[in-house]
Structure 1
Amino acid sequence: MQPTYPWLEKYPTGVDWHMVLQGRPLGEMFDRAAARFGQQTCIDFLGRKTSYEGIADQVGRAAAGLQALGIGKGDRVGLMMPNCPAFVVAYFAVLKLGGIIVNFNPLYAVEELEYQLRDSRTDILITLDLKILFEKTELLLRHRLLEKVIVQSFTAMLPGWKGALFRLFKGRMLADISRAAGGAVSSFEDLCDNDGRFQPPEAIDPIEDVAVLQYTGGTTGVPKGAMLTHANLSINVEQVRAWVTNLEEGSERIMGFLPLFHVFAMTTVMNFGIASGAEIVLVPRFDLDESLKLIHKVKPTTMPGVPTIYNAMLHHPKIHKFDMQSLKFCISGGAPLPAEVKRGFEAVSGCALVEGYGLSETSPMATANPVTGPVKEGSIGVPVPQTLISIRSLENPDTEVPLGQPGEICIRGPQVMKGYWQDPEASEEAFIGRFFRSGDVGTMDEDGYIFIVDRIKDLILCSGYNVYPRRIEEAIYEHPAVEEVTVVGIPDDYRGEAPKAFIKLRDGEELDKTGLLAFLKPKLSRIEMPEEIEFRDELPKTMIGKLSKKELREE
């Protein structure tokens, strides 16, 4: 049978798997960083730099303003915005009050936002005055799903001249929040117009108190709020810090392309960056050309990313004209990292590209390849400190399988979530004993290295995001011309995987790709839209008449 800890024999040099890990309130983690690195740059946002001391002042003012609105321990506050200083400020302000952050993907369709608001019982949302965000927010207000909306001016966060130019040439992208009805909408600037004094909440228990509700479909496609405690998140930061042995506190610069509302960036960009006293270069939207120019200019030392980003950079026609030699550590997550992308990116950058693995439910990092030393191609590495990986039988998850045999990857560690928000049944199903069931099939070799074999369910990994065929199918089924639909993932050179819809129309009905995409636009986010649509006279079925995806995948 499988040894309990086969990875210990060849664990990365300088990393202690047995290290003591102590969870602490994330607000305390922030305060420690602000005290240590006060005058150093904390955030560089499109050229506007703010020190740790400056961000700490804004956090205090935001906390005081939120407390005046009645926000306290256990209250949910939604954040819906791209990467920007206001996200960081609001995040830590809420947590210092003992509140709970609920991350909302700005790309979500209104229907998805409505479901998450209802399920989380979030009635206050912080967003930006960009039309693409505020127009959705106004709809949510009209539907009486929100009581209060706080809006940060996008141009106020930019360097003065950039803000003026944006208003002059791109003013049409900004919403006029002064026209919003009633007193439900107020500005972030007004929220922070105070002396920054607030009453600290009753003691935060990092083990029990939830810090973030991170919504994920897991492997079912039904969104659930993973309850990540202060200890889950703060310990995962310490696990990452222990793993990256070639970085120096207070001296690093992190490139923040990945969205902070995603758990991967929340931990490896924001929380890791703050705890390490790093300068965090925040980018609101990834653009390949502009991002490469920014790397060349600001010279980051670390850059978390997803395979599609590294692949896009690698294949840029002028990649060799950009200086990437400042990079000391890059980690890839969210989707499998192709070996050719890893080798190619390391060749052009001179930086080790390390693949890690985890889920929203694990804060997210559970395994990683060594930063220095041998790496096994195709592996997601070994467990990070104090984390156990058990490969369980697919037929009987109570038993482990022998080394080298496929089974479900199950994870136990201090970074594993407390459970799913208000869903005890789903929480119980997600665990076998104290091990979280990942829904992924993998193997473990004699050195404790883990290899992903397949995914148990049908979710599609698109640019690091989980895309659920069932949701796309349900949206397509709403079209009156559609009789049957099946959605599967197909290989995509840029995004890793993309949705493809196979459709059978009702007799006598007509529909083309253009018409269907127009129908789906208000129902699905951009990343969920089918990349390909194929109309067929018949769709494959199982012996009992259920639509079958197997034959379509094999094609």
Structure 2
Amino acid sequence: MSDFEHVWRTAYRHPGRWDDVFPPVSMVTLFEASTAAHPQAPLLDFMGRKYSYAETLDGARRVACGLKALGYGPGDRIGLFLPNVPHYVAAYYGILMLGATVVNFSPLYSVDELSAQVADSGTKLLFTLSASALLPTALKVLEASALERLVVGSIAGALPAAKSLFYRWFRGSEVTPRPEEPRILAFSRLIANPGQCESVAIDPERDVALIQYTGGTTGTPKGAVLTHQNLSANARQVAQLDPDMGKTQDSILGVLPFFHVFANTCVLNRTVLTGGEIVMLPRFNAKQALAELRRTRPRSLPGVPTMYQALLDAPGMKPSDFSSLKFCISGGAPLPAQLKEEWERITGARVIEGYGLSESSGVVSTNPYDGLNKPGTIGQPLAATRVRLVDKEDPTRAPPQGEPGEIVVSGPQIMQGYWNRPDADAEVFVDDHWLRTGDVGLIDEDGYIRIVDRLKDMIAVGGFKVFPSQIEAVLYRHPAVKEALVLGLPDAYHGELPHAYVVLDEDVEPVSGPELCIWLNGQLGKHERVSEVVIRDSLPKTMIGKLSRKDLLAEVRGEA
């Protein structure tokens, strides 16, 4: 038992008990039980078109039966290359009903990034949209990988009739026609069945529901393997935090992307569990988000700090726009104290800072919805979640008394391991399946956790994880680049932004920093793009000649 567990047993600030137990439940059972309880209640509101629980469940069953007819079944990996659209929800639960495994892919991925993760996961079929920002990338991956099929949906088909007509008339340039070839199937054709195929038995603790890619401790993408029980337990843990749960109609503005583990748990799975309604937006746009807040009057708004800042800065914003909000969950990046104070003052809604990882199904700890919030902390652990500190150099022993240590976690939401990476599992787990987070923290006398440093080089850009080594690898492809290091530096809006520092090869035609920046950003995902490329005469190195990111950061901070 850790030194802090007695605090969480005796002075737990969340509803329920810290040592509660969450019996094994499959994600399919969770969805079907919620639908049985209120079949006609709205689950999704997409631009004004509502989908009830019964309608969404029927769509998911049709997806499962359509996939089964194509020859797919338990254990197959099926990918979602989708923004927040109704197709995502039907495909997500349909894949799970089939006994197959969902693989989430960011719509921001480049062809190379998507190809690499499709290959690594063994994804056989990919769901996407006819949007020009998605389909051309998916088509290139289909041609250059072992991917067998694409299922292509239409945004227009998911909109209310009037908006659908407007989209077809005026936004045709944003749509790429779906090629007519056997490997590419329309979503509407896939679900053209009664949805009555035989159900599949699911073992919640053994069957893999989701492979969620994360950079891990080295920056190399790895797939976190999450079972049905991992996901359903985290959904129940998160739902239990709300002191008003079951006492009021639950509604949530879903602008966080579902492909991200934060939204997957805190928006999608948790709201399905509670019988609530999700107001969906395909992507975050401050003006559109404000319009949806005014139209639908949701009760909660999970987000990342940059999103809250953008809403406060949006032209035409009025405090009354936020009057329906009661709780706003902030994650993905540290929440500045000034932003928290300003948001709560203007909106009247409480911002609750939490913490989690892909490897923990989304959430490890949060500040309480009601009661003592400690700015700059990530609160107390969720129920059934154990947290302790280990020495930063030797995770097999405790840190010196009173000193920070690496945060390690165990609980029902912790992944089984990384997909086909036993070597990485050996590095990330200690003792009996305790997860090393790579974050360094302290736990105070009230059991509140504070992150003070991180062992990882990961850069947090508006809630997305960006890894310097991947950007550096692209830089080294340029013939003029001799040495390169990428740092994450503070940014008032994004939290952090990547900045690149390079030494040029004197034997090659020189290139300017701005020119190199344009060349580099053209090959990166939108969330990875660097703020600048700085040309330097040299980069700091360790005693053995290795480029030193730590020393460069110290130099840059000194210059600033």
Fold similarity call, TM over 0.5: yes
| Distance verdict in 2 for CA 1:249–1:227, change over 3 Å | farther
1:224-252 Cα deviation digits (max 9, x unpaired)? 11000000000001101111112336711
Q: Does 1:418 align with 2:419?
A: no
1:120-135 counterparts in 2 under 5 A?
120-135=121-136
Corresponding residue of 1:313: 311
Contact 1:476 / 1:482 at 8 angstroms: preserved in 2? yes
Q: Kindly indicate whether residue 469 of structure 2 is the aligned counterpart of residue 473 of structure 1.
A: no
Corresponding residue number in structure 1 for 2:523: 523
Unaligned runs of 5+ in 2: none
Contact in 2 for aligned 1:109/1:522 (Cα 8 Å): no
2:436 aligned with 1:437, yes or no?
A: yes
Distance 1:250 1:92, change over 3 A: farther
CA displacement at 1:141 relative to structure 2: 1.6
Separation in 2, partners of 1:23, 1:311 = 39
> Contact (CA 8 Å) 1:250, 1:276: kept in 2 or not?
no
| Counterpart contact for 1:460–1:466, Cα < 8 Å | yes
Q: Distance in 1 between matches of 2:251 and 2:346?
A: 20
Whole-Å separation in 1 of the counterparts to 2:208 and 2:250: 29
In the alignment, what sits opposite 2:98?
A: 97
**Residue 118 (structure 2) aligns with:** 117
1:220 aligns with 2:218: yes
One-letter amino acid of the counterpart of residue 135, structure 2: F
Q: Contact between 2:14 and 2:241, CA under 8 Å: does it hold in 1?
A: no
How far apart, in 2, do the equivalents of 1:345 and 1:526 lie?
Answer: 27
CA contact (8 A) 1:403 1:443 kept: no
In structure 2, distance between residues paired with 1:280 and 1:371: 20
1:295 Cα shift?
0.9
Work out whether residues 101 and 213 of structure 1, in 8 Å CA contact, stay in contact via their aligned partners in 2: yes
- Root-mean-square deviation (Å): 1.5
Q: CA–CA distance in 1 between the matches of 2:127 and 2:511? A: 40
What is the match of residue 244 of structure 2? 246
**Partner SS, residue 208 of structure 1:** coil
> Hey, what's the Cα distance between the residues in 2 that align with 1:270 and 1:530?
31
**Which stretch shows the higher mean deviation, 1-10 or 61-70?**
1-10
Look up the equivalent residue of 1:70 and give its one-letter code. Answer: G
Post-superposition shift, 1:280? 0.4
Does the 8 A contact of 2:389 with 2:404 survive in 1?
Answer: yes
Q: Which residue of 2 aligns with 1:84?
A: 85
What amino acid sits opposite 1:457 in the alignment? K
Distance in 1 between residues matched to 2:486 and 2:131, nearest whole Å: 33
SS in structure 2 at match of 1:373:
coil
Q: CA deviation at 1:403?
A: 6.2
Give me the whole-angstrom Cα distance separating, in 2, the residues matched to 1:457 and 1:386: 26
**Aligned equivalents of 1:193, 1:154: Cα separation in 2:** 18
Q: Distance in 2 between matches of 1:158 and 1:3?
A: 50
The structural deviation recorded for 1:321 is 4.9
For 1:16-31, list aligned pairs within 5 A: 16-31=17-32
User: Quick check: 2:516–2:533 contact (8 Å CA) kept in 1?
Assistant: no
Structure 2: how far apart are the matches of 1:273 and 1:402?
A: 42
What's the offset of the Cα at 1:313? 1.9
Structure 2 counterpart of 1:276, from 261, 274, 277: 274
Deviations 1:385-439 (A, max 9, x none): 0110011111321222366420000001010001111111111211111210000
| Identical-pair percentage | 43
How much does 1:518 deviate?
A: 4.0
Residues 442, 451 of structure 1: 8 Å contact kept: yes
Q: Secondary structure at the match of 1:365?
A: coil
What is the CA distance between 1:13 and its match in structure 2? 5.4
Amino acid at match of 1:442: G
Instruction: Please say if residues 2 and 401 of structure 1, whose CA atoms lie closer than 8 Å, have aligned partners that are also in contact.
Output: no
- Cα displacement (A) at 1:515: 3.1
In 1, the alpha carbon distance for the partners of 2:88 and 2:117 equals 19
**Matched-pair contact (CA < 8 Å) for 1:5–1:448:** no
**Counterpart Cα distance in 1 of 2:462 and 2:342:** 19
Letter of the structure 1 residue corresponding to residue 232 of structure 2: S
The answer to which of 148-157 and 5-14 deviates more is 5-14
| 1:168 paired residue number | 169
Query: Is residue 363 from structure 1 mapped to residue 361 from structure 2 by the alignment?
Result: yes
Deviation at 1:503, TM superposition (A): 1.1
The answer to whether structure 1 residue 149 and structure 2 residue 150 are counterparts is yes
CA deviation vs aligned residue, 1:287-330 (integer Å, no higher than 9, x gap): 11221121122111011111111122233354335421111211
> Which residue of structure 2 lines up, in the alignment, with residue 74 of structure 1?
75
Counterpart of 1:214 in 2: which secondary structure?
Answer: strand
Distance in 1 (alpha carbons) for counterparts of 2:393 and 2:425: 20
Partner residue of 1:399 out of 381, 397, 400: 397
How far apart, in 2, do the equivalents of 1:542 and 1:291 lie? 48
Deviations 1:497-524 (A, max 9, x none): 0000011111152223443244334531
Task: Tell me if structure 1 keeps the 8 A contact 2:406–2:437.
Answer: yes
1:185 & 1:332 partners in 2: Cα distance? 39
- How far apart, CA to CA, are the structure 2 residues paired with 1:452 and 1:402? 17
Q: How does 1:270-349 map to 2 (within 5 A)?
A: 270-316=268-314, 318-349=316-347
TM-score (structure 2 length as normaliser): 0.96
Indicate the residue corresponding to 1:14 in structure 2.
Answer: 15
| Aligned: 1:545 with 2:551 | no
> For residues 98-132 of structure 1, what are the alpha-carbon distances to aligned partners after superposition, in whole Å with 9 as ceiling and x for unaligned?
10000011101111111101110112101101111
In structure 1, runs of 5+ residues without a counterpart are none
2: CA distance, partners of 1:400 / 1:130: 51
8 Å CA contact 1:387, 1:414 repeated in 2? yes
Partner secondary structure for residue 15 of structure 1: coil
Distance in 1 between residues matched to 2:14 and 2:73, nearest whole Å: 44
Match of 1:534 in 2: 534
Q: Select between 509-518 and 497-506 the one with higher mean Cα deviation.
A: 509-518
Is contact 2:252-2:298 (8 Å) kept?
yes
Query: Partners in 2 of 1:94 and 1:435 — Cα distance?
Result: 29
Asked whether the 8 Å contact 2:331–2:463 carries over to 1, the reply is yes
CA positional deviation for 1:190? 0.3
Distance (Å, rounded) in 2 between the aligned partners of 1:351 and 1:95: 35
Task: Tell me, yes or no, if the aligned pair for 2:521 and 2:530 is still in contact at 8 Å.
Answer: no
Contact 2:490 2:497 in 1 (8 A): yes
Determine the C-alpha separation between the residues in 2 that align with 1:370 and 1:199. 43
Distance across 1 between alignment mates of 2:43 and 2:213: 27
Q: Provide the C-alpha distance between the structure 2 equivalents of 1:79 and 1:290, rounded to a whole number of angstroms.
A: 24
Return the alpha-carbon distance in structure 2 between the equivalents of residues 98 and 311 of structure 1.
Answer: 40
Query: Which residue matches 1:455?
Result: 454
Segment of structure 1 superposing worse, 313-322 or 297-306: 313-322
Q: Is the 8 A contact 1:459 1:469 kept in 2?
A: yes
18-27 vs 100-109, greater mean Cα deviation: 18-27
Paired residues of 2:360 and 2:414 also in contact (CA < 8 A): yes
8 Å contact from structure 1 (residues 314, 341) kept in 2: no
Q: Is the 8 A contact 1:246 1:328 kept in 2?
A: no
CA shift at 1:547, angstroms?
1.3
Counterpart of 1:381, as a letter, is: G
Please tell me whether the aligned partners of residues 11 and 446 of structure 2 are also in contact (alpha carbons under 8 angstroms): yes
Letter in 1 for 2:225: M
